[in-house]
Amino acid sequence: MPAITIQDLDYTFSDGTVALEHVSFEIEKGESVALIGPNGAGKSTLLLHLNGILHSSVSRESVRILNESVDPKKIHEMPKKIGIVFQNADDMLFMPLLGDDVAFGPINLGLDKEEVQRRVKDALEMVGLAGYEHRVPHHLSGGEKRRAALATVLSMEPEILAMDEPTANLDPKSRRELIEILRRFKEKGKTLLIITHDVNAIPELAERVIVLNKTVIADGPTCDIFSDTEMLVKIGLDVPVIMQIFEILQCFGYPCDVLPLSIEGAVRNLTETMESGAGHVHLHIHEHTHSGISSARSKYHVHAEKHE
Amino acid sequence: MISEIDTYAGLSSPIHRWDPRLKVISILALIFSIMLLYDLKLVIASMLFAIILVYISRIPFSFIAGRLKWVFLFVLPFLIILPFTVIGEGVVIAHFGSITLNFRGIESVEFAVMIVIKALTSVMLIFPMIGTSRMDITIKALEDLHLPNKLVQMLAFTYRYIFVLSNEFMLMERSLTSRGFKRGSNLYTITTLSKAIATLFVMSYEQAERVFYAMRSKGYSGKVTTMHEFTLRPQDWLCTVVVCGFAIFIQVAVWYGTLEGT
């Protein structure tokens, strides 16, 4: 059953700027998808279409959530199906106390008091903020705010979770904690759509990547999308650092058909290579090594060089 | 980090422990009762009662005095103007062409002093009323008292975002200072700060829009409800009886005085 279906969605801002053009894709229930694209590609605009906050008069019924088309007049019914976490946590935490913020959604869903309290407790526990009900949002740290914003959506127990830049501007510890929370959500079989520039986090969170630049440029399994480096670099995107390192290792003669995207992938790849090489990995410098390294590096730094 | 409005909300005193709903109602009743007074002795008695309340609440007088000073500056003109403008026969002090300056006697001075004390007492009472509970709890108390939901939302959002905006303005000021801007009494300072404030308005408008989107994403359809539990204890009623009792007492005293006068 499809969780999100978008069919030929167009959206133009009131000033005439085209934000989305013929966007179409489908996400199955239980899938984890990363939506990537350069700044101004329409990612956040697309996100606001998923629960009907933004809607295009020319593309009525273009967006379907859990097989039902999104009706802008029934936005208040959407939180049960899809929870959206915005990029700026301060926009999500608008009540005097964190407990009120987490309870806001469930109260609007018309749940009884005991159920609201249970959901507040569970959601805060899920994001590692148990006992923070009486904390004032503006006293929380950046990482805590981001997790708190997630809790305000998790308390509505949505089937689909859509997040805008969940790991942006976080310190490494907070980033790791957030990735772990999202992984747990994914393991529960929920549908996850993550807008991100953090390409290093994608292999851990998403098995599929959609590249958006006003329209869908590419859509496929994570490793396939990242193997098309040329396309990604052309629209100003990057590939995971691990992948870049293994491409450099290839120039030193490291045998690797499919470049790993994450640390886990790298460990697996190294182990397999060493097992097949009698416990050793053979690297060497040959006549094409340096030219290979230069071409691999220039591939990723094409933008920087243009400006130099 | 504790916001200034909540600086003394964490102290422990009978006023702090008083149920916030009864506290707001009782002290508001007292303020209205004082505003209706036109008897200097009773006004002074009310001021003493307010000082006792502040003393019990353990909010430092220096903190209150620092804020009352601005109120005093605001009501100071009454002290100067009223003795010369209250209706009645007066002593002519000077003539400025067709304008005559009359002094209306000691009664008009009393009247001016009374107005000033009434104003200072009322503002002083605000501190034990809202300074002894955290603002979020006071907002919940107001919600529980069935204050119109729109007003509760406005208060809650003001309390939540005033810090975000003041922080934004502080960052803007730092950015100005780091680029050589110096505050002074000149047009350049005024225009620069006006532009910064204008930008802040635009930013707050945009943020308001984003917050509204977030609220709608969480099922908002016009009403904000929070969960809260207030329980009333005998001590709460005792405080209420004392404060409301005093508010009624001063009105009875006025009524009794009027009866005696006739």
- The domain spans of chain B are 5-133+231-261, 149-217
Question: For residue B75, which amino acid is it?
Answer: V
Min Cα–Cα distance to chain B from A279, Å: 55
Hey, are the CB atoms on A86 and B213 less than 8 Å from each other? yes
Across chain B, what does the average pLDDT equal?
87
Phi, psi values for residue B36, rounded to 5°? -80, -10
Hey, are the CB atoms on A104 and B220 less than 8 Å from each other? yes
The pTM of this model reads 0.77
Q: Are strands B91-96 and B99-103 parallel, antiparallel or unpaired?
A: antiparallel
What is the mean predicted confidence (pLDDT) over B163-168?
A: 85
Model confidence pLDDT, tens digit, residues A266-303: 999 999 888 887 788 888 888 888 888 888 888 776 55
CA atoms of A237 and A258, how far apart (whole Å): 20
Contact present, B158 and A96 (Cβ < 8 Å): no
What is the pLDDT, as a whole number, of residue B87?
A: 65
Of A77, A90, A108, the CB nearest to B164: A90
Q: Hey, which residues does A224 pair with through a beta bridge?
A: none
Of A33-37, A72-76, A182-186, give the lowest mean pLDDT range.
Answer: A72-76
DSSP sequence for A96-125: SSHHHHHHHHHHHTT--HHHHHHHHHHHHH
What is the pLDDT, as a whole number, of residue A283?
A: 87
Min Cα–Cα distance to chain A from B249, Å: 37
Model confidence pLDDT, tens digit, residues B175-198: 888 888 888 888 989 999 999 999
Sign of CA dihedral A79, A83, A88, A93: positive
Which chain A residues have a beta carbon less than 8 Å from that of B154? Answer: none
Nearest CA in chain A to B161: A94
DSSP sequence for A227-282: H-HHHHHHTT----HHHHHHHHHHHTT---SS---SHHHHHHHHHHHHHHTTT---
Asked if the C-beta of A78 comes within 8 angstroms of chain B's C-beta atoms, the answer is yes
Asked if the C-beta of A239 comes within 8 angstroms of chain B's C-beta atoms, the answer is no
Min Cα–Cα distance to chain A from B229, Å: 11
* Beta-strand runs (E) in A144-291: 160-164, 191-195, 208-213, 215-221
What is the interface pTM, i.e. ipTM, of the complex? 0.79
Hey, are the CB atoms on A91 and B211 less than 8 Å from each other? yes
Element (H, E) at A33: strand A32-36
Model confidence pLDDT, tens digit, residues A43-89: 999 999 998 888 887 777 899 999 999 888 888 888 889 999 999 89
CA atoms of A44 and A165, how far apart (whole Å): 9
Min Cα–Cα distance to chain A from B144, Å: 14
Which chain B residues have a beta carbon less than 8 Å from that of A153? Answer: 217-218
Which chain A residues have a beta carbon less than 8 Å from that of B140? Answer: 96
Q: How far is CA B84 from the centre of its chain?
A: 29
